[in-house]
Structure 1
């Protein structure tokens, strides 16, 4: 069995996470038991939710245990199988974690899924045609429920969730407006992803200034908002929400270091009779097949052209992860392991 490099969570962050919270080790891969498969990971997904798991505080999921391999989505290839369900050479997506190989139970529901790379590149099963894409789909289709002609807004628009949200919204005849950080990201959102407009939040020092820019981009107001950020950005969008607007809350990257995130205008929830709903996509597995089918068609047809930031080698994962939390990535953040 191969030697396996792994990255463990070595300590809990105090405030900002740092590279010293992680530890690189090399271990023997255990021999396979009946019903197990050995997967060599080609790509590792880095996602904002991992930052919350590093804390010991109460959240929607159990904290990442100290001394264990960091949680994370992976795509790769089966190299050995003791299960009739998988054969060597099969391309699979799973939750293999921050390591080069994983041993998976082929009979555990949702542990491993075969994927077809004929029209969709393997790495996209961690982004547009994976958990981030389904996250965008659920927030748009099940919470925002837009009608054709309505205006929807998404923060972190150039990222894996935001880019999928835009393509899904345009497919439903909506006006799609993004919020992103920097002129390069905004150009990508408008020119390559096909959004109707994108606002650079870095050009605005407060919610009132950002809300003025939103008024120009959304002359009919905002009917639906997908939240990835929180803080000033959320305040600004709330100032532009229409009556009976819907807000899908999935990320609060402004607060991942554990500081409170004040909300400046909570009275608008009442004034505008807003529907505000938080959700975790792993609690809605029943929609994944439908969502993945549509997302695969969008990528395969070229209507969704996701962008990726790719770090090389497992050793690069901690710094790439910390950079993603500060918005240094452009599109889906991955680590290439093969």
Structure 2
């Protein structure tokens, strides 16, 4: 039985069949309510990309992306039945690492998001982004038994995960707490052990390297009796990241997240000047990433060494450069 359009109101919400021919000769047919067409002035759903066709489907618009469509986990749905702007969540299969993951179609087709494993957001056993591979010393402090009881494979814990996991203090095994690996990587230590201060993982690594090369390096210690005025005008002891008392050298590791602010740059400069005026030699390791870079302090002094270091790279060359600089100054 056909529709009698003489009895259909323009504002009806009932889906009606529509059809039109594109300039290229393609016939588009789609259902749509009368109110959306008459009152909302909506046009062809296929031309606007809301419905898939031979020319607007994901397979037609993004053939390379459609090739990553998971062949078995999406049921009977195919890339020919969805559009690039669809908000539907489907399964994908990475051609590089063979990892399957769910993601919204629009986030991949329009947002440009790729494989979560290749991007380092998800880790599988043996991946470089796992805590076991990237930080074996830190992995040794994981409470593996509690982690496995919660249904998490310890070998899949991501080195930058924000999910809290259980830990066992390597110094005092009776100390147990939960904390995210990201916080541990940022220098957070056992909350029950007494610490002079929290230090970041790069600072700890650089400290160990300097101890190997000099035999006398102190962490988070004051540089003699040197004092400086902070941004609030308080007179504070110049506590430094690494102090080499025998060489009268202090090493400051400046992470870009904390030292990038304008007020922190002023504090870094004032503290450095106070140390230089007191006869100390200062090394400032300025951290940089792929998109961020800490500029050097505007201080010209032969007793100041500023080194640019790429975050995540080996710190051994930095330690060697510091020793070479100190040797050259003494020579």
TM-score by length of 1: 0.28
| Higher Cα radius of gyration | 2
- Asked which structure has the greater RCO (Cα within 8 Å, sep 6+), the reply is 1
